[in-house]
Structure 1
Amino acid sequence: MKKHHVKNERIKRRYFDYLKEAKRMDVSSVDLVAASIAGFEQWSNYRDFASFHIEQAKGFKAYLAKQRNAKTGAPLSKATIHSRLMAMKAFTFWLAGQPGYKSRISYADADYFNPSANDSRIATARRDKKVPTVEQVRYVISRMPDGSDIEKRDRAIIAFTLLTGARDNAAASFKLKHVDLAEGKVFQDAREVRTKGRKTFTTFFFPVGEGVEAILAEWIDHLKSRLLFGPDDPLFPATKVALTNAGLFGPSGLSREHWKNASAIRRIFKTAFEAAGLPYANPHSLRDTLALLGEQRCCTPEQFKAWSQNLGHEQVLTTFTSYGTVATNRQADIIAALRQPDEQTGISPDAVAAITAILDRERKKA
């Protein structure tokens, strides 16, 4: 049984290089595209891409609709099918302009990978997210032990994420020198920190409580005074693994190395929330928590713009549309309150007009 096509491998290598170098896609995103194309190749029994016909696109759509998740046994979600089809559409469109393929594939052929309009709406619909409140996160932090170095680090990670909204992969790569406690800020330097899109920006601590800041300050003091860490050492060092008394490998304190990825941080969050008796909230969900807090606390366009920049967003619209969705129950409370004729919103008509103008400009840029 065929498992690859030599000619296909060569053109795929060129396409992946195009995505990384020309389209500036992250390696992890390119890997997802590669997996989608590999799925199509397997379904087509590794036929030469140059022999593509629109009937193959139709057949692949029908094939995906019948597939099931390997782990759960449930049918593939509309979102999963949509992403795979969009990856194949983009690849086919690119192929139509390549030597050896453009005489056989037209740009319009790529459109046959489009799912139905209804399926697209289902796949891209926004749904309520499970977002923890600031009070819930603070409760989780308060329940975390802090006896050992590892426990102190774990508690400080969640406190730091709530204070800064930093993404987990960035948090895993911060150095001590990037945090300025006196100024209450962290410098997300893309030369050394794994920020999204390798953007460099400064985040000032969000107003989530002095107690949360104190936990981070205590942790940094512990690193410097007790563990003798320097400016270039990791803010959250990886766990040192060594042989235990039982003759097995296990945790034995902290190393002076950074984590290679964010998987350990996600495990820390999962353990902490479960121990506190709350549903698991991943590190990224705290960015939603902070976005919702900003919607409640900010009263002027300038304030919300600063809040948005603090999250690393270049456009306010990103904060509103990607993170600031009002939960359904909160939506009901707001609409009910607005039914009261004497209810005061606390925001002047001028402020509302200014916010509307900003959003209009942002939409035009998008």
Structure 2
Amino acid sequence: MSKQPNEKNERLKRRFVDYRKYARQLSDKTLDRELAALERFDVWNGRQDFEKFHIQWAMDFRAHLEKAKGTTGKPLSKSTARAIMATLREFTLWLSQQDGFRKRIRTSDAEYFNLSRRDEAEARAAPARPAPSIKQAKRAFEMLPATTPREMRDKAVFALLCLTGIRVGALISLRIRHIDLIEKSVTQNPREVATKFGKRIDTFFAKGFPEAEAALRAWITYLDEEALYGRDDPLFPATAIAPQSNTGFAVEGFDRRPWKSTEPVRKIVNGAFQAAKLDSFGPHAFRHMLARRATKDCTVPELVAMAQNLGHTDVLTTLRSYGQLSRERQRALITGESGDDVLED
């Protein structure tokens, strides 16, 4: 049975989180992860006062993480262990600068919260990021029905992901006025759209998806002419659930509000690929799909344009995080042996 929280430690953790939020400008989601890391260390350490810190704690905690298991029962991933250790390193650095701790804790003590070089390299290694090929995305899109208004909406969701690779959090917060069909653009104004880091992103429709453009246009036309939606209404309204006297609840049109979570979009995307008898992919996979096409076919200016389209300040982010080449593509470029059986779609 774990000990009760240590009052002194809890106050220090709260002060540290306030520092990270207001001085370092971290998001609430990141702060939650950091609090979880601090709590993990605190519980493991028996709630001992942080003011009694000794570097042996850091060394023993690293050994503990090397043997620790995650929620699935499998060994803790190196990337997770690295994130936990990074939080403890930042916390120790912060503690070393606080009144009453300067004599007890040195800034160099924080360096003991590091993984081994081998584990650090493994943690930094970019994992394989599954993404559909252009042909697979088009196949799944073609098989989506568009008979009912709900089906039209779902197909338009898939279409916009194909065209832009927009982040799913931003997608569900879009209003009709953020889409310009003539300019083929999506204006992601951070005051109105949930963009990452509150950045403004001007996104344009990727070439080669005329059917997706048509599906998006048909949906917006339906909202305008039949549903009588205005420019400030949600582009993708949530499904309305109405109570029924005999059957409980039933789907009944749309609510004039956006989805509250991203889960409906994930279901639409996964269901589309499964219906096409393809591997399941999530909404984020479209970003990888578009970035990989850019690294394969685009000129340098076009690659920079794609990076901006995805909302990346640095084109290297696009290359490192989204533009990995498959083993087959790498082989084709190095050996010069190209062909339909070697090159990606």
* TM-superposed deviation, 1:249: 3.5
The AA in structure 2 aligned to 1:326 is L
Distance in 2 between residues matched to 1:242 and 1:36, nearest whole Å: 42
Is 1:264 paired with 2:232? no
Decide which moves more: 52-61 or 260-269: 260-269
In structure 2, the residue matched to 1:65 is 66
Is 1:303 paired with 2:302? yes
Does the C-alpha gap of structure 1 residues 220 and 43 become closer, same or farther in structure 2, counting only changes over 3 Å? same
* TM-superposed deviation, 1:202: 0.9
* TM-superposed deviation, 1:242: 2.5
Q: Report the 3-state secondary structure (helix = DSSP H, G, I; strand = E; otherwise coil) of the residue aligned with 2:258.
A: coil
The AA in structure 2 aligned to 1:28 is K
In structure 1, the residue matched to 2:26 is 25
Is 1:331 paired with 2:330? yes
In structure 1, the residue matched to 2:343 is none
- 8 Å CA contact 2:126, 2:321 repeated in 1: no
In structure 1, the residue matched to 2:79 is 79
- 8 Å CA contact 1:174, 1:234 repeated in 2: yes
- 8 Å CA contact 1:128, 1:328 repeated in 2: no
Q: CA RMSD in A?
A: 1.7
Aligned residue pairs total 337
Structure 1: gaps spanning 5 or more residues: 340-366
* TM-superposed deviation, 1:158: 1.3
* TM-superposed deviation, 1:190: 0.2
The AA in structure 2 aligned to 1:335 is I
Is 1:161 paired with 2:161? yes
- 8 Å CA contact 2:162, 2:209 repeated in 1: no
In structure 1, the residue matched to 2:321 is 322
In structure 2, the residue matched to 1:362 is none
The AA in structure 2 aligned to 1:117 is R
The AA in structure 2 aligned to 1:93 is L
In structure 1, the residue matched to 2:106 is 106
Is 1:141 paired with 2:144? no
Distance in 2 between residues matched to 1:162 and 1:23, nearest whole Å: 35
Q: Report the 3-state secondary structure (helix = DSSP H, G, I; strand = E; otherwise coil) of the residue aligned with 1:218.
A: helix
Does the C-alpha gap of structure 1 residues 12 and 181 become closer, same or farther in structure 2, counting only changes over 3 Å? same
Decide which moves more: 190-199 or 287-296: 287-296
- 8 Å CA contact 1:184, 1:204 repeated in 2: yes
In structure 2, the residue matched to 1:37 is 38
Distance in 2 between residues matched to 1:106 and 1:194, nearest whole Å: 40
Q: Report the 3-state secondary structure (helix = DSSP H, G, I; strand = E; otherwise coil) of the residue aligned with 2:224.
A: helix
* TM-superposed deviation, 1:214: 0.5
In structure 1, the residue matched to 2:248 is 248
* TM-superposed deviation, 1:110: 1.0
Is 1:287 paired with 2:267? no
List per-residue Cα deviations over 1:257-306 (Å, max 9, x = no partner).
1223322212222222222211111111111111111123322x322222
Q: Report the 3-state secondary structure (helix = DSSP H, G, I; strand = E; otherwise coil) of the residue aligned with 1:255.
A: strand
In structure 2, the residue matched to 1:225 is 225
Distance in 1 between residues matched to 2:231 and 2:216, nearest whole Å: 16
- 8 Å CA contact 1:149, 1:254 repeated in 2: no
Distance in 2 between residues matched to 1:147 and 1:216, nearest whole Å: 14
The ranges of structure 1 where at least 4 consecutive aligned residues each deviate by more than 6 angstroms after the TM superposition are none
- 8 Å CA contact 2:132, 2:286 repeated in 1: yes
| TM-score where L is the length of structure 1 | 0.88
Decide which moves more: 206-215 or 3-12: 3-12
The AA in structure 2 aligned to 1:132 is P
Decide which moves more: 141-150 or 228-237: 141-150
Instruction: Give % identity.
Output: 39
Q: Report the 3-state secondary structure (helix = DSSP H, G, I; strand = E; otherwise coil) of the residue aligned with 1:8.
A: helix
List per-residue Cα deviations over 1:115-156 (Å, max 9, x = no partner).
100011111112332121111111111112223322221111
Does the C-alpha gap of structure 1 residues 246 and 40 become closer, same or farther in structure 2, counting only changes over 3 Å? farther
Q: Report the 3-state secondary structure (helix = DSSP H, G, I; strand = E; otherwise coil) of the residue aligned with 1:243.
A: strand
| TM-score where L is the length of structure 2 | 0.93
